[in-house]
Amino acid sequence: VTVKGTQADGTPILDKVLVNAVDGSVVARLPTIHTAKNRELHDLKNKTTLPGTTVRTEGQAATSDAVVNNNYDRLGTTYDAYKELFNRDSLDGSGGKLISSVHYSTKYNNAYWNGTQMVYGDGDGSTFSNLANSLDVTAHELTHGVTSNTSNLEYSGESGGLNEAMSDIFGNVVEYYGAGKVVSDNTWKVGEDVYTPNTAGDALRYMNDPAKDGDSLDYYPDYTSGVDVHYSSGIANLAFYLLSQGGKHPRSKTTVSVTAIGIEKAAQIFYRANTQIFTASTTFAQAKQWTGQAAQDLGYTQAEISAVADAWSAVGVT
Ligand SMILES: Cc1cccc(C(=O)O)c1OC(=O)C1CC1
Ligand SMILES: [Zn+2]
């Protein structure tokens, strides 16, 4: 049993895990009481006028709607991850409300951040199942809020690709945290738990091989200003993957070999860059420079700092 924090009334929040005595691996996690204190869920009842009816606020009991309860829990996990990994208290660093509206429109195959809150469609049951049930989608949307409160990366051009990449990256870092800090194939898939429910193993995007989705870029020289930000994000997504796990470009666009530094150090570097160094107009070349700067600020070794530059070189950012 470990103490994760304290509740509003001062009682400790305990994280109960069953640990394998031989190798210390986490065998099972008992339901966690989240440290979040600012969740506010709304039910749009398939309409589109935001925010919709307030159906569950922080500390309220579960409702009869599993989608509301699941999104409430995903927001809790996302809040916990940002607090525990980066010591960030919500979107704005000061406990800002996590406003989420579910059941947006009908058969809506999207989720989005509207500048103030998160909005989730139910999906049409074929392209997507309910997007509000997904942890990496929820953390993706919440990260748009973190980015808008920090670097405020302009949502177009190269900075737009970086904005989207921050959301894919931290969406999956939160998924890694929620899985008990265990890396799996799913850590590098985006939206895999709600994308095409009738097809196993696929995903909306693939950080370890962005071109696998047929649209995303994996090589900076292929970038043009007309590429959708959800596709140019692949350049930075692949750089993050290679920095975390090591290796070479999956489609041999370059021959650079990157040394792995692990997902947690890679996440600390990208978090510090996005929240303390990036500006609204950051380019991919500046992202290479400033993630290197972040690694140096964090006191990482020369080898780790070089691995950051190598990861960007591997995706053609020279
Ligand atoms: C599905 C979808 C459509 C349009 C915008 C977004 C958006 O939030 O940028 C979107 O959500 C995602 O990309 C998350 C990762 C699944
Ligand atoms: Zn996004």
Residue having the nearest C-alpha atom to atom 1 of ligand 1: 110
Are 69 and 41 spatial neighbours (Cβ–Cβ below 8 Å)? no
Query: Cα–chain-centroid distance for residue 88?
Result: 14
- Tell me which ligand sits closest to the C-alpha of residue 132: 1
- How far apart, in whole angstroms, are the C-alpha atoms of residue 237 and residue 208? 7
Question: Helices 66-86 and 135-148 sit at what angle, rounded to 10 degrees?
Answer: 50
User: What is the C-alpha separation between 188 and 2, in angstroms, rounded?
Assistant: 28
Average pLDDT over residues 35-54: 96
Helix (H) or strand (E) holding 303: helix 302-314
How far is residue 122 CA from its own chain's centroid?
20
How much is the pLDDT for 148? 98
Q: What confidence tier does 9 reach under pLDDT thresholds 50, 70, 90?
A: low
3-state DSSP helix/strand/coil % of the chain, to nearest 5: 40, 15, 45
Prediction pTM value? 0.91
pLDDT value, residue 16? 66
Confidence check on the interface: ipTM exceeds 0.90, yes or no: yes
- As a whole number of angstroms, the distance between CA 38 and CA 21 comes to 36
Ligand 1 contact via 190 beta carbon (within 6 Å): yes
What's the pLDDT score for residue 18? 76
CA geometry: angle 10, 6, 263, nearest 5 deg:
170
Cβ of 110 closer than 6 Å to ligand 1, yes or no, is yes
Closest to 315 measured CA to CA, from 212, 237, 261? 237
266 near 225, Cβ under 8 Å? no
Per-residue pLDDT of 135-192, as tens digits, reads 999 999 999 999 999 999 999 999 999 999 999 999 999 999 999 999 999 999 999 9
pLDDT of residue 85: 97
111 lines ligand 1 (CB under 6 A): yes
Distance CA 158, CA 249 (A): 20
Nearest listed ligand to the Cα of residue 143: 2
* Distance (Å) from CA 28 to ligand 1 centroid: 31
pLDDT at 133 over 90: yes
Protein residues with C-beta less than 5 angstroms from the ion ligand 2: 167
**Mean pLDDT of the residues in the chain:** 95
Cβ-contact 180, 26 below 8 angstroms: yes
Q: Could you tell me the two tokens for 77?
A: 């996990």
Atom number of ligand 1 nearest to Cα 134: 16
Q: How confident is the model at residue 280 (pLDDT cuts 50, 70, 90)?
A: very high
* Sheet (strand 118-121) strand order: 53-57, 39-43, 98-104, 118-121, 111-113
The two beta strands, 17-19 and 111-113, are: unpaired
Q: Whose CA is nearest to atom 8 of ligand 1?
A: 112
Backbone Cα Rg of the chain: 19
Least distant ligand from the CA of 216: 1
Determine the 3-state secondary structure of 112 from DSSP. strand
Which atom number of ligand 1 is nearest to the Cα of residue 190?
15
